[in-house]
Amino acid sequence: MPEAPSAAHDSAPDTVLVVDFGAQYAQLIARRVREARVYSEIVPSTMPVAEMLAKDPKAIILSGGPSSVYEEGAPQLDRAIFEAGVPVFGMCYGFQLMATTLGGQVDNTGAREYGRTPLAVSKAGSTLFEGTPENQSVWMSHGDACSAAPEGFSVTASTDVVPVAAFENDEKKLYGVQYHPEVMHSTHGQLVLEHFLYRGAGLKPTWTTGNIVEEQVAAIREQVGDKRAICGLSGGVDSAVAAALVQKAIGSQLTCVYVDHGLMRKGETEQVEKDFVAATGVQLKVVDAQERFLNALAGVSDPETKRKIIGREFIRVFEQAQAEIIAEGGADVAFLVQGTLYPDVVESGGGTGTANIKSHHNVGGLPDDIEFELVEPLRQLFKDEVRMVGQELGLPDEIVHRQPFPGPGLGIRIVGEVTKERLDLLREADAIAREELTAAGLDREIWQCPVVLLADVRSVGVQGDGRTYGHPIVLRPVSSEDAMTADWTRMPYEVLARISTRITNEVADVNRVVLDCTSKPPGTIEWE
């Protein structure tokens, strides 16, 4: 989403709904729409069409999915969605569902196409394919094939085995492609998507970081009114941008609370107290809760339980801070500001109707008896969008481009029970890894590099001519745009060697360093 100043908008942005049929790439579709400077939201395919239309979408995109349209129990969609006058774009499964629902023919021919596939465009000047070559490479993933388009549709592309790989009906503003235009392997995919948005649906590229700031400042002022709010400041970009947005909206009505829970990385508490306050001038209250968190986590190894404990204790500490602020003469504190992002919502089982992957401390990990009303100005944003909003607000690069760090801190980077000794060990290993990555100039190339302590695992080693029985440290360098998908970063061997040598030499009780080379999916970025 390019940065661009814009005039204030008095109404909500035009919205494109992405209907999720269980696609691997549903979140990516939503991001690609936003990159075209059009606002998008993901909704589950189980949502009734009447509810979708009640959101007043200006366009609808039907995602791909793993099912066959003819399978028993396969996701379906009410025909009314195609008769509502809203422009619709079907991709892969969404394309086939549009075809069968409107009277076209989809067959299970056994003619499968997976991966890069040559596409022949038969109508180069069509709404979707204007300005793209007649022969292009696209990303396919299907076993069924459309052999006949619905009545009134024009076939605009084909492959060697699929006679109808794209169709269009300009009169009804219905469009579809068999492939995945949202992935980078489809060479002209973003242009095809933008053609649907701009030419097919008539939308304008007006959703910018300036819009986001203006809309959220107005929404925050309306929500908070003349009451006070506190913000849980972790030092990460999410909470920093959320705090900066809320401060812009309500000024001195906001107090930021930094909870020193003892789960932060080396030197980060000092950084929060110095850098963020210097950059924003916000009121900051520091609460020392290290002993409280360690006592609550004692004896706990299950990762979900740890997340929920940390989320619960955060809220309890905030309630304590609220009481202290009121006792000091402040007005009633009724709101809690959080840096919740869209991927947090999706992975915690919200937003798409999908399964809960893991509870985020600020979504699924909150206790039921929370006394605050939440203010979550970043809830519909992806990480890269949050960084751009931070730049729009004038936050320094040291904060805006800081590598992501989970709210539960090192508590979920220790596989096993969390103790002070294990935290101290992990802090030293993590500091070494960060120092070497910075020295190698890899801070921007690597999205995030969790350093994980396998506390309940020990392995035999040899150090100082003697046998050791120490812990393994795992390096998890990943590259990503929004944390919804990620790949492991191919770091130079010499950097890995320096990190490994320093950790095993300088950190007591560690005798082995291993590299996690798993993508997401199937693995999450954090181990817990």
| Confidence check: pLDDT of 408 > 80 | yes
pLDDT at 370: 66
Angle between helices 290-297 and 303-327 (to 10 degrees): 150
Question: Which position has the higher pLDDT, 462 or 525?
Answer: 525
pLDDT at 355: 36
Mean pLDDT over residues 194-210, rounded?
93
At residue 202 the predicted structure's pLDDT band, cuts being 50, 70 and 90, is very high
Quote the DSSP letter at residue 124: T
CA pair distance 254, 284, nearest whole angstrom: 9
Quote the DSSP letter at residue 272: I
The bridge status of strand 451-453 relative to strand 466-475 is antiparallel
Mean pLDDT over residues 79-95, rounded?
94
Q: What is the set of active-site residues?
A: 92, 180, 182
Are the C-beta atoms of residues 89 and 175 closer than 8 Å to each other?
yes
Q: What tokens does 327 get?
A: 């006792």
Are the C-beta atoms of residues 287 and 259 closer than 8 Å to each other?
yes
Q: Measure the CA angle with vertex 37, ends 35 and 43; round to 5°.
A: 75
Indicate the residue type of 133.
Answer: P
Mean pLDDT over residues 136-151, rounded?
84
Are the C-beta atoms of residues 278 and 253 closer than 8 Å to each other?
no
Rounded to the nearest 5°, which phi and psi values hold at 197?
-65, -50
- Looking at 123-217, which runs of residues are DSSP E strands? 135-142, 145-148, 154-158, 166-169, 174-177
What CA–CA distances, in Å, run from 510 to 415, 421, 459?
Answer: 14, 13, 9
Angle between helices 383-392 and 209-224 (to 10 degrees): 80
| Confidence check: pLDDT of 360 > 70 | no
CA pair distance 325, 494, nearest whole angstrom: 51
CA pair distance 329, 44, nearest whole angstrom: 47
Q: What tokens does 58 get?
A: 């200006």
pLDDT at 516: 95
CA pair distance 444, 239, nearest whole angstrom: 20
Mean pLDDT over residues 466-473, rounded?
78
Q: Tokens 């000047």: give the residue.
A: 125
Neighbours of 84 (CB within 10 A): 16
| Confidence check: pLDDT of 232 > 50 | yes
Supply the mean pLDDT for the chain: 85
pLDDT at 482: 63
Q: Which residues pair with 487 in a beta bridge?
A: 479
Closest CA to 62 of 148, 177, 159, 162: 177
Q: ω into residue 521 within 30 of 0, thus cis?
A: yes
| Confidence check: pLDDT of 361 > 60 | no
| Confidence check: pLDDT of 1 > 70 | no
Express as a percent the part of the chain with pLDDT over 90.
48
Closest CA to 251 of 222, 219, 225, 282: 282
Question: Which position has the higher pLDDT, 326 or 411?
Answer: 411
Neighbours of 7 (CB within 10 A): 9
CA pair distance 127, 175, nearest whole angstrom: 9
What CA–CA distances, in Å, run from 481 to 262, 270, 387, 444, 484?
Answer: 29, 28, 11, 12, 8
Are the C-beta atoms of residues 294 and 418 closer than 8 Å to each other?
yes
At residue 233 the predicted structure's pLDDT band, cuts being 50, 70 and 90, is confident
Stated pTM of the model:
0.68
Are the C-beta atoms of residues 34 and 382 closer than 8 Å to each other?
yes
Q: Which of 268-277, 403-412, 449-458: highest mean pLDDT?
A: 449-458
The distance from CA 362 to its chain's CA centroid, rounded to whole angstroms, is 14
Among 54-68, 219-233, 358-372, 424-438, which is the least confidently predicted range? 358-372
CA pair distance 441, 6, nearest whole angstrom: 35
Q: Tokens 């705090």: give the residue.
A: 243
Question: Which position has the higher pLDDT, 155 or 185?
Answer: 155
Q: Tokens 């890899």: give the residue.
A: 442
